[in-house]
Structure 1
Amino acid sequence: ADPVMVLNDDNTIVITSNRLSETGAPLLEQGMIVGQLALADALIIGNCNNQVKFSELTIDMFRMLQALEREPMNLASQMNKPGMQESTEKPARRENPHKYLLYKPTFSQLYTFLAASFKELPANSVLLIYLSATGVFPSGRSDSEGPYDFGGVLTNSNRDIINGDALHKRNQSYKEMHCLHPGDLYPFTRKPLFIIVDSSNSVAYKNFTNLFGQPLVCLLSPTAYPKALQDQSQRGSLFTLFLNNPLMAFLFVSGLSSMRRGLWEKCQDYLRKINRDIAQLLTHSRSIDQSFLQFFGDEFLRLLLTRFIFCSATMRMHKIFRETRNYPETYPQLPRDETVENPHLQKHILELASILDVRNVFLENTLDDY
């Protein structure tokens, strides 16, 4: 389902691994003050009817599953560059986060797993919730604007009502039973919570309130994509692809469908440099919300955050992503001028585009366009 093929010299397809490798996440600078939280549990929830599926996994769920896995040690050692001296010490085994994979869960099923994970979460640990699902929008204007008035995401299609009219009438007077609203997650913000929402109504989760003062971050997908990219939704969301394999996503939005392995590896090296610089932008920012830095000590979350910023910066510079709804959002809000619209990062993206000879796809004077 990958939109871009990486080819060897003999035109065989290279199988790329998107698990976390030893050099995957940008290293923390010495003296960098970040939180000591560790990602312990992840709920990966999917309800996208039109996506490619593997058994009970949508392509988005599969990609997020991979993004939260470490590269097995034996495979990682085989992939090391030749000439590197092998260490005689056996590396310490590092755990993968425990994952619950929920395909089309009902509200009660989802809440049961959420509660179980919350209960078992160790001290100084993070619960990650990934939602890839259809958006549910508010049916009418409400007098109040509470955490249940902006809609949410539909985790399970209601199979009881087949008649479209009945469904329509029901929606007029009742809220959708299997819609997960931002307010449904409030009780779980008593512990550190990291939320990723990939949905046409992801912005509902901008209306969050941190009631308990614990670290809380929401990464929110664009709510719409340019028409040229909408036909590709069956092969998975572009936003999740950026979080799983940012170079693959960058090639896709640049209009490339295949490339040679040598160029792929050169671009991956450059992307690692970009990730290191993004990490510095975040940690050196004076106005960033501390929640982001609290999560930055964990390798998985650090990589997701840097990939998110790369994704957002790329979309803001791309010529066909011109509407506000085409851009990812966060809660709390990131300082845009220090992160996703930082001139230093924009220069890096143009340089990566130059390596691929697709610079014409991006705006040169991005800052002048805002």
Structure 2
Amino acid sequence: MSENDVVTRTFRALVEGADRKFARVRDVPAYGRLHNQHYFHKVFKAYMRLWKYQQENRSKLVADGLNRWEIGEIASRIGQLYFGQYMRTSEARFLLEAYVFYEAILSRSYFDGSTGSRGFGKKDIGVRFKELRFYARFLLVSLILNRTETVHLLAERFKSLVDDCKANFRDTNFKEWRLVVQEIARFMKVDTAFMNVRPLRYSTLFDSHPASLPYVARFHAKRVLKFQDALLTSYHHNEVKFAELTMDTYRMLQCLEWEPSGSFYQKRPVEPKENGVFIEHSGASAASGVIDMNLAADMTDPSLPPNPRKAVIYRPSVTHLIAVMATICEELPLDSILLVYLSASGKVGRSNASQVYSSGGSQKSSKNKAPLQDQNKFLPESCINNKGESSGYYDQYLWFGPRGNGGLNNLYPGDIIPFTRRPLFLVLHGAERGETAALLLSPLRPAFKNPADADLTQNGSQFTFFLTAPLAAFCQLVGFSSSDTEAEVYSNAESILSAAFSEWEVILCTTRSLDLVWAQVLSDPFLRRLILRFIFCRAVLSFFCPPEDREQHLPVCLPLLPNPVSPDSEVVRSAVHRLAKHLSVSDYFHFVDT
């Protein structure tokens, strides 16, 4: 066996050993303190040994058939390991190490031999995928480091690479990679950090104020909590993101880190020359094949304290989010505080309804129409009283998943209560002014002529009944049963109600005072019908209940519907009066008191 054969066999054995170790740590969750940190050291050690071996035996390996892309793949794996450690620890040195290796791959064109123009055919599709993954990972690292010029350069080359792959491998679907190209383009367009403004990270230059610094230094509290851990997540439909980093979490991640002042942020990024050859910035010449392993250490700022650890969770389910919070809280030191950042669409609760009466109604939203009694199936029993009522901790929620799946995807305030045993700093973004929810809220209590009809287990929610079968709910309200009402009388009552709905619909479509929240859903027939039935329900209950008890028996909508369809409106009052007179139940209502 020749010397070259021995070198090649040793190299292949080192590659296989390092890859096996890599597979064991690749999917370790990026949250919680690592109890198997020693194994990560073994993986790094294996790849460092492999990298050093290929450097020392480069000429022999190349003579025996080693491809440049194989060297690039090893460097890419090392960069991936460093980035993974950064996401787990938030230590800037790991992020910088990842950048050093990725920049070396780019500047030395390790993957260039995989392009179709260099004579490679379809059998090398696997190499092209490796190159695509390299660009995506390097883009993510550059984004977090705010290397603006590098990001633009990588994005252009990445797009060209995807286009080239589509042209040379027509039998392969590159749809997912085209989506990645669109993601980075959209991200760069939205990201204001690419403007010439101050950094998002905490900068001593911008954020430390000399005049107040002495007062801060002299301030002492009885208890001082250390901020060392954070949980960041967001869940919005079609939100701006790149890979598994959304714009919201990207900004919060940077906001919770120190801005280095070292040479790394002053040096120019890689730039293409006219002949397409990249200028070397990685601390060594391309010919030597040596990557300066201490370069990242020289770029860090030793004067800065460590960054707080941040667990960035991408579009989690509610159960997964709660599990992550539990893991972090369990490992949180006694003198520490956990920051939780949640950005999601949500439902605004009723301010005066800390306890929603579910036997008289459900709580309805035109964006999430799961009745409260149905949602209670997903709530802890301790949060539901013996009347089936929900506590105020479960009246509002954020969506972490597709809507319309009951309460499975709802994160309630009550879900976070167990974690308040530890100090928490909550930053919640949801259902804000610019994204007001359209809400139809049930009354605090139902109203019936016959109190026995208020039994939820027998009749269900009165509010839901009005929204699904308004005339039948009206009859139930006044104590009528189907056997008490003649078919013709009932049919004429339906006609009265239908005419009223038609008139109210015209008002909604022509009034200029309709809130935009309602206007944007009015064209949907199902939602429009719910709105009309809500108007009817509110008016009927308003006239049915005594004035002194009216408030707790009325449903509420947010934002408010126009006055022309309020119970005080003559067009609404007259319709309810006509229906009550037709069914000979006018005496049950308080029309003269309105």
Query: Where on the TM-score scale, by shorter chain, does this alignment land: which range?
Result: 0.3 to 0.5
TM-score, normalized by length of structure 2? 0.30
TM-score, normalized by length of structure 1? 0.47
- Identify, as 1 or 2, the structure richer in helix: 2
Per chain length, whose mean CA-contact separation is higher, i.e. which structure has more relative contact order (CA < 8 Å, sep 6+)? Answer: 1
